[in-house]
A and B are shown apart, each in its own frame.
Chain A
Amino acid sequence: MGADFSRRDFLKAAVLAPLLPSFLAACRRAESGRVVNFFNWSDYIGKDTLPNFTKRTGIQVRYDLFADEEEMFAKLRAGARGYDLVVIGDYLIPRFRALNMIEPIPPGALANMGNLAPRFRHASYDPEEATVPYLWGTTGIAYNRRTLKRKPTSWWDLWDPRYKDRLSMLDNVRDCISVAMQLLNIPETTNSEADFQKVRDLLVRQKPLVKMYSSTSYLNSLVAGEIDLAMTWSGDLFQAAKDNPDLDYALPKEGTYMWVDCLALMRGCRHRQDALRLIDYLLEPKVAADNADFVRYASPNEKAWPFVDPVLRRDPRVYPPKKMMDALMLHHILDPEQTERWNELWADVKVA
């Protein structure tokens, strides 16, 4: 090249080079044409799960991530188009359905639907089975065994002034407000302004202790020892514990919440058949087990259980025994007014 490569050539190359990969990718896509656009939580799928699907079926999966459910909802609500498949929390299903944002999965469309455990079929949040349970877990307390010395036993530990600046809370309306209501013995169905005021006060009282409200980056902080105590989702903590074995998970004695994340077809999706094929693939026992093992959440897939890593299968923190499971609560489904009130309350806490 040498002297022939003028400054202008360089400029041209510099401008065009970043476009090259996407241009090539566009060509490839046009070739095969079979894709599914999948919108999921970060760190929420096995490493080989999607590549194996593509290898087997030739269907490409374009995978996009979110770190917060309300943010995901806002994005889809604002008209983000092109997603075929999304993962949504149980409590969001009625909201998505009320707004006509998802297409119910046709009955009988999935050969592997029967693999699911009866507990996860026709559940209260989705009696018509418009969606398919993907993974489930619990909300609890993450702690560092080495620095904390004692195991947290109660949600109140997250209000303990001794842990000032060493704890984090999930940046999540549902979990934070539900726990505060539980501690105040206020039912989640409440519409009373006095109750909301009490919940707000309790959360504001905690705020000077809280180092951060976060649903993702707090995990790095836990691993790095920046914080020692956190409200967490079970599997996320187990993933983090791979990098820092001092981290452990405790279920508070007051009882806690379980939630079920479900696969849903977006309204007007363009790759319906391929998306259904992907869901059916994710329901295969071996696939579901490997996926659940990787992300360290529990699989609702009963046929998958024999393939699950026995260490995880026996771990009551991942697969709680029946008695513990029956004590787990589902989040109450809020009506539109309550949803607005809860969101407003959470915004008030953030501002305070």
Chain B
Amino acid sequence: MKALERALSWLLSGRRQTASHALLAPAVLWLLIFLVTPALGLVALSLARNGAYGDVVWSLGLRNYRRAFAPQFAPVLLRTVGFASATTALCLLLGYPLAYFLSFRAGRWRGALIIALMVPFWTSSLVAFYSWMIILGKEGLINAALMRFGFLSSPMGMLYTPFSVLLGLVYFYLPFTVLPLYGSLEKIPRQYVEAAYDLGAPRWAAFREVTLPLSLPGVIAGALLTFIPCLGDFLTAELLGGPRYYLLGNLISNQFLMAQDWPFGAALTSLLLAGMIAGLWLYRRWEPDA
């Protein structure tokens, strides 16, 4: 026990470099094994050629990248960026007031409300999307209700439309937007806002000049945390979208599962990763002071 305590206090001493390195080691090792190595493997695979029955032939070249830039894939990319942008915008629009309420108004209900926000996040997305299919379907809850009360004579097609895809994406990614927003709103010292009131600022001006600028890091973090995973999402489009709403994630998963063309799938994934890293890098350069 004593020895363990001594070892721990050595680790936590903070002034010794070896101790700091030892603290970092597990995480670094984890990232090396489970992130860096597979990513490098993926890049290597993307340079290979697809052989008979999906065999990987290691004759290296850039053919998969050339194919990825073929014009037929441009609509998929545009559609994906479009859906990801729309989802991010909607999540911010819905999420900001929600986070504001949680932080400034919720009072003793805050804990319960945050849990309510997290619950959909804990359920498997598969279960959630199947529930949406039941709700949105032609004989689903909404159509049945609208028809019973005479608002509709024939069922309305809501499933397998851009609407259902967007709904699924916003539903799933909303917590990703709200939590960073809430975090940054929470950090704003309330005295600043009060000072603005004391100096005669109306509520709206105080919000515009004080609260909103101070919450910007949260807005950006929330937007990134929503936008980036959205780019790779395939389950939502698979379950709630029809064949016309085929996204980059579906294209990639199909290369691995259906077309048996792993090198091409790896090239698409590498490009997506490179795009994300470039985006994050630009954000870091631009970010005022984090």
Residues of A whose CB lies within 8 Å of any CB of B are 68, 70-71, 73-74, 77, 95, 98-99, 165, 171, 173, 207-208, 210-213, 217, 221, 224-226, 336-337, 339-340, 343-344, 346-348, 350-352
* Chain B residues positioned under 8 Å from A173 (CB to CB): 258
List 29 A-B residue pairs with CB atoms under 8 Å apart, sorted by A's residue number.
A68-B257, A70-B260, A71-B258, A73-B260, A74-B54, A74-B257, A74-B260, A77-B53, A95-B53, A98-B52, A98-B53, A171-B258, A173-B258, A207-B244, A208-B244, A210-B242, A211-B242, A211-B243, A212-B160, A212-B243, A217-B239, A224-B140, A226-B138, A336-B52, A339-B260, A343-B261, A347-B258, A350-B246, A350-B250
* Chain A residues positioned under 8 Å from B73 (CB to CB): 351
Identify the closest chain A residue to B74 (Cβ). A351
B104 CB to nearest chain A CB (Å)? 29
Q: Report how far A343 CA is from B50 CA in the complex, Å.
A: 12
- Choose from B51, B54, B140, B259 the contact partner of A347 (Cβ within 8 Å): B259
* Count of CB-CB pairs between chains A and B under 8 Å: 87
- Contact A71 B257, CB 8 Å, known A95-B53, A336-B53, A352-B72: yes
Identify the closest chain B residue to A339 (Cβ). B53
Residues 85 to 143 of chain B near chain A (Cβ within 8 Å): 137-140
13 A-B pairs besides A70-B260, A226-B138 with CB distance below 8 A are A74-B256, A98-B52, A165-B160, A173-B258, A211-B242, A226-B137, A340-B260, A343-B258, A348-B72, A350-B243, A350-B250, A351-B75, A351-B76
* Chain A residues positioned under 8 Å from B183 (CB to CB): none
* Chain B residues positioned under 8 Å from A347 (CB to CB): 251, 254-255, 258-259, 261
A178 CB to nearest chain B CB (Å)? 16
- Choose from A95, A207, A226, A344 the contact partner of B243 (Cβ within 8 Å): A207
* Chain A residues positioned under 8 Å from B250 (CB to CB): 350
B80 CB to nearest chain A CB (Å)? 12
Q: Report how far A338 CA is from B79 CA in the complex, Å.
A: 31
Q: Report how far A83 CA is from B72 CA in the complex, Å.
A: 39
Residues of B whose CB lies within 8 Å of any CB of A are 50-54, 72-73, 75-76, 137-140, 157, 159-160, 239, 242-244, 246, 250-251, 254-261
Q: Report how far A209 CA is from B51 CA in the complex, Å.
A: 34
* Chain B residues positioned under 8 Å from A71 (CB to CB): 257-258
* Chain A residues positioned under 8 Å from B54 (CB to CB): 74, 77
Q: Are A346 and B251 touching (Cβ within 8 A)?
A: no
Q: Are B139 and A99 touching (Cβ within 8 A)?
A: no
Q: Are B261 and A225 touching (Cβ within 8 A)?
A: no
Q: Report how far A95 CA is from B260 CA in the complex, Å.
A: 13
* Chain B residues positioned under 8 Å from A74 (CB to CB): 54, 256-258, 260
* Chain A residues positioned under 8 Å from B259 (CB to CB): 343-344, 346-347
Q: Report how far A165 CA is from B244 CA in the complex, Å.
A: 11
Q: Report how far A279 CA is from B139 CA in the complex, Å.
A: 42
For the complex of A and B, 6 pairs with smallest distance between CB atoms: A336-B52, A343-B259, A347-B259, A71-B257, A226-B138, A70-B258
* Chain A residues positioned under 8 Å from B53 (CB to CB): 77, 95, 98-99, 336, 339-340
Identify the closest chain B residue to A342 (Cβ). B259
* Chain A residues positioned under 8 Å from B243 (CB to CB): 207, 210-213, 350
Q: Are A344 and B244 touching (Cβ within 8 A)?
A: no
Q: Report how far A346 CA is from B51 CA in the complex, Å.
A: 17
B115 CB to nearest chain A CB (Å)? 15
A306 CB to nearest chain B CB (Å)? 41
